[in-house]
A and B are shown apart, each in its own frame.
Chain A
């Protein structure tokens, strides 16, 4: 646990002591604010539940982008700067390295999401929403963000350059999101597989409307676990190079 804790604190400290973390957080807040104004608050009057749904819809897109941005540097930067060798030869296992880095990025992402909390709370002023409904939406955002972070971390473990990690992570995420649309044009059982595999549509929509489903929670946990495993195995494999 100690190596994991050291790596977690080191990574989180790196985010918080450089302007990058704050710039990404401010940019995420700004984007969420603009999109929330446009989609949720602007135009025709909307039911408060619809406004909340629109907020989570907007926030989910921003969360995915922020997660990819935050994760791209996790391993690729170490490799670029030549510090990965030091990390690999340290007493920390590959699993501890991956987990420590993932948890630090997740903590930052969770902090960023917590900063957006005032937006759904504004709905209380004029509308009728439940605290649990907002909490369910945020649970969905944390799970979705965690899943995309894990994907990004895997991409970062694969790539030598941060930009490549960004592209690979973005591509995997995009494929996993868009695969839902493929489900409509292929035959069963492939359509069912694609539908269930899709990162966003089937699994996140429930959270947006205050519906927590075991299926979706297990799915996101599985995606996080699987991509963290892939990242660990990738780091192990890279030791042979």
Chain B
């Protein structure tokens, strides 16, 4: 298909090689002292020389050959113009020009760079297209004078084809240039729309209960600019709260207009929310920029409001964490005892306590754990002690409970700790055989050891887990190598205690006696194992127990319903009876204790990833603090971790991998088959 032209094909190759030399000299070798400049000069000379030869050929040629050479010469002149434009962006050229400002220089450079890039495209793309169209065969040498006769030249070159190709190349180059400029403009004037998940949290059940519980209305002052999208979102939240409680008064202020009020409350920024109650005020800061607020503040607004409410409606409280036995909150001792494990920390529990207006302090032997729990303690936490609590510490905790204290105790089979004297007094025994479940578990390592990550959604309706119980079967907690709890004979029969087992495993769980993670029918038994218990009532000191004499635990109406069925009698008449019993002595000594058989339930690893664990610790703290009327989940629109049990995994696996492709293929092949049968049956 190649045509005979007045010039050889390699003239164009020489021209392009010259441009390549310039590029190499100016880019990859620009830092060299001699080679880079030498290549630039050589390349420029080559390109100029090739263009000059082309000009000479145009001058000599005739007819169609001449016009073809003229097209090629035009492309080469365009490329040389691009080269000249490029030279004008160099340091010498810019130094020679007296720019009014730095900005003017930048504008000049941007324009020139775009200019030479476009010129190169406009020159070289048509050249490439025309050269491809002309081919290389029969074009190895320059035409002799005899070849340059008008008739001969016209026969050898298909001028319309060359013109068509040149126009095609030019069209492509122009389109490329236009698109380059369009993309650049779009990039400079970029508009963004963020449609990722966003919803301002609504007032949660717990927040509503808090707002309803106070005697006087709570004032909420919103300091936002007059027209502001974040204000509308925040206003919507408080309107809901106002409507549902009737105990909230909301005012909007522009801090510039209400300058005195802003000064009085020391408000210096837009996006400040003040929650005011009986002279106490708490501030919540949200960004007044919508994009930032939707990302950082509005999804968790309910949690922030709840934290502020807790600070204004009651005095701060103190929670003590025992230390010195390798507890989760005591990493130093755990390290000494060799019990360190990644993720076994309780920072999130501390955060929750702080949000609920508790101050967290350590309680070790030096802080008086052997002598007595400080008077300001509202709750004492003993979180997965690795070693047995010292007898003095156990005695202190027992005395604390006898005086109506509140205790949160989490044990774990991985430690050596037991309930000891506390268990005898509470009538609860901790079994350190780890539980496993080969049906409902979280697949993590994809081997049998995953059976220890047991999932359960079995909760009693006790106030300490009421939110989870109300949430239905989708609220699931995860146990990690959990032990289990059983009834034990109560050491002091005079104590009137209610024991309510709060959480039990599904019936497919088993105590892994053999430690091999798999169920052994001969040695192990599947059952619903209890993993958490709430004990409440009056714990009589041993002296009183002796005086009280013979009433045995479980006799009469002592509320012991720990027969595995789980009770839900934590409220109602029994508790009224107990309070009356306390009042007879002149002071209420009703103790409350929560015992968990798995320390991981409050660890950061699970609290961060499983929403039900956050609800569990919130409700536990509220119940122990006597604030169970505030129970309920904090409404949050923050993203959740997605965790599947093994059986859910199997469902997703088959539906995504097998189901859909088989359906498509089955439908398609059937349709093709039926269609072909229909067509073959039809007369032609």
Which residues of A does B touch, CB under 8 Å? 16-19, 21-23, 25-27, 29-30, 33-34, 36-37, 41, 43-49, 51, 115-116, 118-119, 122-123, 126-130, 132-133, 135-136, 187, 189-190, 196, 206, 209-215, 217-219, 222, 225-226, 229-230, 233, 236-237, 240-241
Given contacts A27-B661, A210-B195, 7 further A-B contacts (CB under 8 A): A19-B672, A22-B672, A25-B664, A33-B656, A48-B642, A51-B642, A240-B165
Q: Is B172 an interface residue (CB 8 A)?
A: yes
Q: Is B187 an interface residue (CB 8 A)?
A: yes
Contact of A49 among B196, B609, B649, B662 (CB under 8 A): B196
Binary per-residue interface labels of chain B (118-135) against chain A in the complex, 1 for a CB within 8 Å, 0 otherwise: 000000000001000100
Contact B172 A230 (CB under 8 A): yes
Number of B residues near A (Cβ < 8 Å) is 57
Query: How far apart sit A113 and B357, CA to CA, in the bound complex (Å)?
Result: 51
A190-B27, A214-B191 given; A225·B197 CB < 8 A: no
Most-contacted residue by chain A among B1, B444, B641, B662 (CB, 10 A): B641
Q: Using a CB-CB cutoff of 8 Å, which residues 635-684 of chain B contact chain A?
A: 637-644, 649, 652-653, 655-658, 660-662, 664-665, 667-669, 671-672, 675
A226-B176, A237-B168 given; A133·B190 CB < 8 A: no
A33-B660, A115-B664, A233-B172 given; A128·B652 CB < 8 A: no
Contact A229 B175 (CB under 8 A): yes
| 6 A/B residue pairs, CB under 8 Å, sorted by A | A19-B672, A30-B657, A41-B642, A118-B655, A130-B196, A211-B193
A226-B179, A230-B172 given; A210·B639 CB < 8 A: no
Contact A19 B196 (CB under 8 A): no
Query: How far apart sit A206 and B263, CA to CA, in the bound complex (Å)?
Result: 43
Q: Is B56 an interface residue (CB 8 A)?
A: no
A118-B660, A214-B191 given; A22·B644 CB < 8 A: no
Residues in B whose Cβ lies below 8 Å from that of A213: 190-192
Interchain Cβ contacts within 8 Å, total number: 167
Most-contacted residue by chain B among A129, A211, A212, A218 (CB, 10 A): A218
- What are the 7 A-B residue pairs with the smallest beta carbon separation, nearest first? A22-B668, A210-B196, A132-B195, A218-B186, A222-B179, A33-B656, A26-B665
Contact B171 A233 (CB under 8 A): yes
**Chain B residue nearest in CB terms to A230:** B172
A33-B657, A189-B113, A236-B164 given; A48·B640 CB < 8 A: yes
Residues in A whose Cβ lies below 8 Å from that of B337: none
Contact of B195 among A30, A119, A127, A133 (CB under 8 A): A133
Residues in B whose Cβ lies below 8 Å from that of A241: 1
A49-B639, A127-B639, A212-B195 given; A29·B664 CB < 8 A: yes
Q: Is B183 an interface residue (CB 8 A)?
A: yes
Contact B175 A30 (CB under 8 A): no
Query: How far apart sit A129 and B161, CA to CA, in the bound complex (Å)?
Result: 57
Question: Which label, helix, strand, loop or mixed, suits the secondary structure of the B interface?
Answer: helix
Contact B186 A214 (CB under 8 A): yes
A46-B642, A226-B176 given; A237·B190 CB < 8 A: no
**Chain B residue nearest in CB terms to A218:** B186
A74 to chain B, nearest CB (A): 20
Residues in A whose Cβ lies below 8 Å from that of B652: 37, 41, 122
Contact of A215 among B161, B187, B194, B637 (CB under 8 A): B187
Residues in A whose Cβ lies below 8 Å from that of B661: 26-27, 29-30, 33
Most-contacted residue by chain A among B27, B640, B653, B660 (CB, 10 A): B660
Residues in B whose Cβ lies below 8 Å from that of A196: 183, 187
Query: How far apart sit A103 and B176, CA to CA, in the bound complex (Å)?
Result: 22
**Chain B residue nearest in CB terms to A21:** B668
Residues in A whose Cβ lies below 8 Å from that of B1: 241
B111 to chain A, nearest CB (A): 13
Contact of B667 among A22, A128, A222 (CB under 8 A): A22
Which residues of B does A touch, CB under 8 Å? 1, 27, 113, 129, 133, 158, 161, 164-165, 168, 171-172, 175-176, 179, 182-183, 186-187, 189-198, 444, 609, 637-644, 649, 652-653, 655-658, 660-662, 664-665, 667-669, 671-672, 675
Query: How far apart sit A132 and B190, CA to CA, in the bound complex (Å)?
Result: 20
**Chain A residue nearest in CB terms to B189:** A214
Query: How far apart sit A48 and B182, CA to CA, in the bound complex (Å)?
Result: 36
Contact A47 B183 (CB under 8 A): no
Contact B637 A128 (CB under 8 A): yes
**Chain B residue nearest in CB terms to A193:** B117
A33-B656, A128-B640, A226-B176 given; A212·B192 CB < 8 A: yes
Query: How far apart sit A34 and B414, CA to CA, in the bound complex (Å)?
Result: 37
Query: How far apart sit A215 and B179, CA to CA, in the bound complex (Å)?
Result: 12
Residues in A whose Cβ lies below 8 Å from that of B657: 30, 33-34, 37
Residues in A whose Cβ lies below 8 Å from that of B171: 229, 233
Contact of B197 among A130, A226, A237 (CB under 8 A): A130
A215-B190, A236-B168, A241-B1 given; A22·B175 CB < 8 A: no
Residues in A whose Cβ lies below 8 Å from that of B190: 213-215
A222-B182, A240-B164 given; A115·B660 CB < 8 A: yes
B172 to chain A, nearest CB (A): 6
Contact of A225 among B179, B192, B653 (CB under 8 A): B179
Residues in B whose Cβ lies below 8 Å from that of A133: 195-197
Residues in B whose Cβ lies below 8 Å from that of A51: 642
Contact A23 B195 (CB under 8 A): no
Query: How far apart sit A18 and B193, CA to CA, in the bound complex (Å)?
Result: 41
Residues in B whose Cβ lies below 8 Å from that of A18: 672
A100 to chain B, nearest CB (A): 20
Contact A44 B444 (CB under 8 A): yes
Query: How far apart sit A119 and B649, CA to CA, in the bound complex (Å)?
Result: 13
Contact B642 A47 (CB under 8 A): yes
Contact A128 B672 (CB under 8 A): no
Contact of B172 among A25, A222, A229 (CB under 8 A): A229
A34-B657, A126-B642, A237-B165 given; A215·B196 CB < 8 A: no
Residues in B whose Cβ lies below 8 Å from that of A233: 168, 171-172
A241 to chain B, nearest CB (A): 6
Contact A17 B675 (CB under 8 A): yes
**Chain B residue nearest in CB terms to A190:** B27
B26 to chain A, nearest CB (A): 11
B473 to chain A, nearest CB (A): 13
Query: How far apart sit A225 and B175, CA to CA, in the bound complex (Å)?
Result: 9
A210-B195, A213-B192 given; A222·B672 CB < 8 A: no
Residues in A whose Cβ lies below 8 Å from that of B444: 43-44
A188 to chain B, nearest CB (A): 10
Query: How far apart sit A130 and B664, CA to CA, in the bound complex (Å)?
Result: 27
Query: How far apart sit A156 and B655, CA to CA, in the bound complex (Å)?
Result: 35
Residues in B whose Cβ lies below 8 Å from that of A136: 195-196
Residues in A whose Cβ lies below 8 Å from that of B129: 237
**Chain B residue nearest in CB terms to A13:** B675
Query: How far apart sit A187 and B29, CA to CA, in the bound complex (Å)?
Result: 12
